[in-house]
Chain A
Amino acid sequence: NAGVMQNPRHLVRRRGQEARLRCSPMKGHSHVYWYRQLPEEGLKFMVYLQKENIIDESGMPKERFSAEFPKEGPSILRIQQVVRGDSAAYFCASSPGTSYSNQPQHFGDGTRLSIL
C-alpha cells in the first residue's frame, strides 16, 4: 500500500506526557499537511511542511506543539505536556511537489489521541 501511512492509529497518554504522531507521505509526495479534528467539530489546518521546511504553521497552537519533516524519515507532530483538550483525531495528508494549489491532498487513516 503506497498510501499515506500514519502511526500509531490510537494513542493514549496521561496529562503531562508527550505525544509523538508519525506520518509517512505517499510515495513521490514531498508536501505534508497536518489537520486536527476535535470531537463534534470540523477539520482544522495545523501546519504545512516540505522536506526540512515549515511553509505555514498558522494553525499550530503557540505552545507545546511542534512539527518537523526531516530529510530522511517520516513527518512528526509532537505535543508536549498534553492536556485533555488535545484529545482529537490528527490527520496527515500529502501532495506532490508541484506549484499548483489544486493538487488534491491524500489522507492517512489518522491517529486518535486520547488523554486520560
Chain B
Amino acid sequence: RKEVEQDPGPFNVPEGATVAFNCTYSNSASQSFFWYRQDCRKEPKLLMSVYSSGNEDGRFTAQLNRASQYISLLIRDSKLSDSATYLCVVTPRAGNNRKLIWGLGTSLAVNP
C-alpha cells in the first residue's frame, strides 16, 4: 500500500464549479499535512497546511480526519488558474524527521 494515496483524476470542471480532492495516508503516526500544487512539472508550491480543526484560505478549505487517516481539499468557485496537479503531502512522524512523503497528485483542469 502506498504511504499517501490520491485519485489521479483528471478532474475536468467548468469555471465556477466546486471540486473536492481526497487523500488517505497509511502511517497513523504522521504528524503534519500539507497540500501543494504543481504546474506542468515545475517546482511544487505550498498551497496550505492542514490542521486538525480544518482551515480555510479564501476559496480553499482543507480538512483532516486523523481517525480515518484522510485529508481533503475543497476548491470553491474554480478559476482557470486553478488548473494544476494537487499534491497531498505528509511528514511521517514528530521529532527530527521532516521528510515529505508525497502522493502522486490529482490533476485538475478548469475549463472556460
Contact = CB atoms under 8 A, between A and B. Distances in A.
Contact-residue bracket for chain A:
20 to 34
Contact of B97 (A101, A102, A107, A110): A101
Nearest to A50: B96
Contact of B104 (A33, A41, A106): A41
A31 B103 contact: no
Interface in A81-116: 89, 91, 93, 95, 99, 101-110
Contacts of A56: 97, 99
A35 interface: yes
Q: Is the interface of B mostly helix, strand, loop or mixed?
A: loop
B99 A109 contact: no
Nearest to B46: A104
Nearest to B31: A101
Interface in B89-105: 91, 93-105
A28 interface: no
B41 A48 contact: no
A107 B43 contact: yes
Contacts of A103: 98
A107 B98 contact: no
B59 interface: no
B98 A48 contact: yes
B9 to A, nearest CB: 14
Contacts of A33: 98-100
A112 B53 CA distance: 38
A107 B45 contact: yes
A59 interface: yes
6 contacts: A48-B97, A101-B91, A101-B95, A104-B46, A105-B98, A105-B100
